[in-house]
A and B are shown apart, each in its own frame.
Chain A
Amino acid sequence: MFEGLGDKIRQRLKGWTEQMAGQERNERLQALVRTENEYGVDPFGFNLDFSLAAVGPFLWLYRNYFRVETFGIEKVPAGRVLLVSNHSGQLPMDGAMIGVAMMMEASPPRAIRSMVEKWVPSLPYVSTFMARIGQIVGTPENCRRLLESDEAILVFPEGARGIAKLWPQRYQLQEFGLGFMRLALETHTPIVPVAVIGAEEQAPALMDLKPVAKLLGFPAFPITPTGLPIPLPTKYRLYFGDPLHFTGRPDDEDSELDKKVRTVKAAIQSMIHQGLKERRSIFW
C-alpha cells in the first residue's frame, strides 16, 4: 500500500520537475540514465526517476527561494572532476544547490555525487534517499572508484567543521582535510574550486550544544534564533573557478599535500571575497 502511494507521489514530483525544467532540458536529462540492469538502479544505488522526483522541491527552492545565480559553471570540465567547495548552513543546502545547478544549468547536465558522512547509512529513510540520488559514503575507496569511472564528485573538505560553523565564523574557511588532494593526485583528477555565497547566513547558529549532539550521535547540535536550523531565504551565488591541475606523489608527506590544498583554499577564499563584494545584501 505504502509502496503504491510512494510511486504516485514520485510520479507527481517527477512531472513537476519536468515541467519546471522545460522540454529541451528533459531530453538531455535522460542521458543521465546509467542503469545496468532491468531494475533501473546503478551499482551504487542511483536511480534517475527517483532523482528527478527528488530534485523537484530542490529545483523550486533553487529558483524561487534561494534564487540561485551561477557564475562560471561552463568551466567544469567533462570527465572526472572534483568540485571542492566551502560548506556551511547547518543543513547541506549548499550541496543540494550545487547538485541542482550541475543538473539544470551545466551543459551537458551532470548528476554529481557527493561524499556523505559515515553516520548517514545508519539513518532510516535518509540512507535510502541519499543512495537513490547518487550520494554515497565518503570512503577513499568509493571516491577512487567513482573518479575512475569519470564521475563528478563534490567534496566539502571542511566536513562537519564547516556545516556546523557558528555565526561569527561565517565565510571563514575551516581546516581542510587532505584526503581529496591525495585522491586527485592518484587519479589525475582536475579540481574545480567552488564558492557558495548565501548559505553561510541561511541558518545563523549561536551555539553548538555538543553534549546533546553526542547523545544523539549527531555531528553537531546547533541552536539558531528560530530554534531549528531552518534555512532563511538568503540569496545564493555559486562561483565556479578555473580547473586546477596538480601533479605529485599521492603518498607524499602531509606538509607537501598541505601546500597544494592551500592553493585550492586560496582560490575558494578569493572567490568568496569577490562574491561578497558583488552582492548587495544577504537577501538580494
Chain B
Amino acid sequence: MKLSEIKDLLNADVIVGEDMLGSVEVETAFASDLLSDVLAYAKERALFITGLTNPQVIRTVEVLDLIGVVFVRGKVPQMDTVELAKRKNIPLLRTKCIMFETCGRLYGAGIKASIEKVD
C-alpha cells in the first residue's frame, strides 16, 4: 500500500516526505512506545507507529531500516526530530487516531504485522 493511501486512511498530516507519498510502499507495521522493544523485535521496512516524539525515534528508524513513522494521538514531533527526519529522508505522518484505532485501520486495509508474536 502506498503511503498516500495510509495518509487518507488515517486522516493524517504529512510532516516530512510529501514527495515520498506516491513512491513509498508499505507492507508491514510495528506499533510501540518502547524503543527497546522496537529494537528487539521490529523487522526492516516496517512502518513505525508510536506516540514518542523525540529524535531517538528517527535514530531507531535508521538503525533498523524502518520505512517511516506515524505519530498517533495527535502528538507533534519535536523540532529536532523533524529536522533529523528531513536530513535522513524519513517520511513522518501525524494522525489524531489513538494507537489502537491506527493499527485497526491499517490492519483492516491489509497491512501485516512486522512480527506476529514474540517467542
Partners in one complex: no
B residues lining the A interface (CB < 8 Å):
none
Residues of A within 8 A of B (CB): none
